[in-house]
A = this chain, B = another copy of it.
Amino acid sequence: MAETKSQNIHFHGANVTRDEREAILGQRGCVVWLTGFSASGKSTIARRVEQLLLEQDVYTYVLDGDNLRFKLNKDLGFSATDRAENIRRVGCVAELFADSGAIVLTAFISPYRADRDAARALLPAGRFIEAFVATSLEACEARDPKGLYKKARAGEIKEFTGISDPYEAPEAAELIVNTEGKTVDESAEQVLAHLRAHGFIK
């Protein structure tokens, strides 16, 4: 595959074009923007999709709090301004990965429509896949793996999405991922099916 993928590519300029890069990589870069309540399953789905894509030799990466909060965004707190800047930077980094040809998955609550739309606007048309992880608030609160909902209900955490802060659900998401009554693999397969159907992967 190493030989055949690139044999017909000839670079015509100093800069590699997106088409040239994608022809070589055999995939099309895009952002899968997972949004939903805390404990809805965003990161779990993203990490499983990552594994399944890598098994198919698809270049992919996950952006989430684990790799963003403590480095690039370490100067940001949880004020409204800082939350918006957090999501803005995530969108910019995601755009770079998509431009590099990667299937990049982002896993952030990203409760505000305006912030998600700003991230969408950074990408070429069709390259931003808003994936609403539509687990109900009730189901998320019943899961509560980190005890955060309990603390939010007790008032120990202020400004908690779904409890004391709003969540603006997507109105026209490209993909609605269901998790209730489904396995992680079933949810992940929904994402993969969308990527195949839209020609991002084979």
Contacts and interface: CB of A to CB of B under 8 A. Distances in A.
A172 interface: no
Interface centre among A14, A15, A100 (most CB of B within 10 A): A100
Given A2-B56, A50-B16, A122 B61 contact: no
Contacts of A72: 89, 92-93, 96
Interface in A146-171: none
A101 to B, nearest CB: 8
Contact of A96 (B1, B15, B67): B67
B93 A6 contact: no
Interface in A38-79: 44, 47-48, 50-51, 54-57, 59, 61, 63, 67, 71-72
A54 B100 contact: no
B11 A57 contact: no
Interface residues of A, number: 39
A200 interface: no
Q: 8 nearest interchain CB pairs?
A: A1-B1, A72-B92, A61-B100, A2-B57, A1-B2, A71-B92, A11-B51, A24-B54
18 contacts: A1-B1, A1-B57, A2-B56, A2-B57, A6-B54, A6-B55, A14-B44, A16-B51, A16-B54, A24-B54, A24-B55, A61-B96, A61-B99, A72-B89, A93-B93, A93-B96, A96-B97, A100-B102
Given A9-B55, A61-B96, A71-B95, 9 more contacts: A2-B56, A2-B57, A6-B57, A14-B47, A15-B47, A59-B100, A61-B99, A89-B89, A96-B97
